A and B are shown apart, each in its own frame.
Chain A
Amino acid sequence: MPLNITALVVFIFFFALVTFIGFAAANWKRGDLDQLHEWGLAGGKFGTLITWFLLGGDLYTAYTFIAVPALAFGAGALAFFAVPYTIVVYPFVFIVFPRLWSVARARGYITAADFIRGRYGDRWLALAIALTGILATMPYIALQLIGLEVVIGAMGVQLAGALVYLPLIISFAILAAFDFFSGLRAPAAIAIVKDIMIYITVFAAVIVIPYEVGGWDKVFAAVPSEKLLLADNLGTYTGYATLFLGSAMALFLYPHSVTGVLSSSSRHVIRRNAALLPAYSFLLGLIALLGFMALAVGVREMPAYAAAFKQYGPNFAVPALFLQVFPSWFVGFAFASIGIGALVPAAIMSIAAANLFTRNIYREFINPNCSPAAEARTAKTMSLMAKVGALLFIMLLPHEYAIQMQLLGGIWIIHTFPAMIFGLYTRWLNSKALLIGWAAGMLCGTWMAASLNFQAIYPLVIGGTTIRVYIAILSVLLNFALSVGLTLVFNMSKRAQKDETLPSDYFALEGIGGGGH
Chain B
Amino acid sequence: MTQTAPTKQPNWFSRLAHPGVYLNWSAYLVVPLIIATIITFGIGLWFAFFNSPADYQMGETVRIMYIHVPNAWLSQMVYAVMAVSAIGSLVWRHPLADVSMKAAAPLGAAFTAIALFTGALWGRPTWGTFWEWDGRMTSTLILFLMYVGLVALWSTFNDQSKGARTIAVFTLVGAINIPIIKFSVDWWNTLHQPSIISTEGLSMPASIATPLLIMMLAFTLLFFTLHMVAMRSEILRRRANNLERRHIAQKMDVTS
Chain B binds chain A = no
Interface residues of A (CB under 8 A from B): none
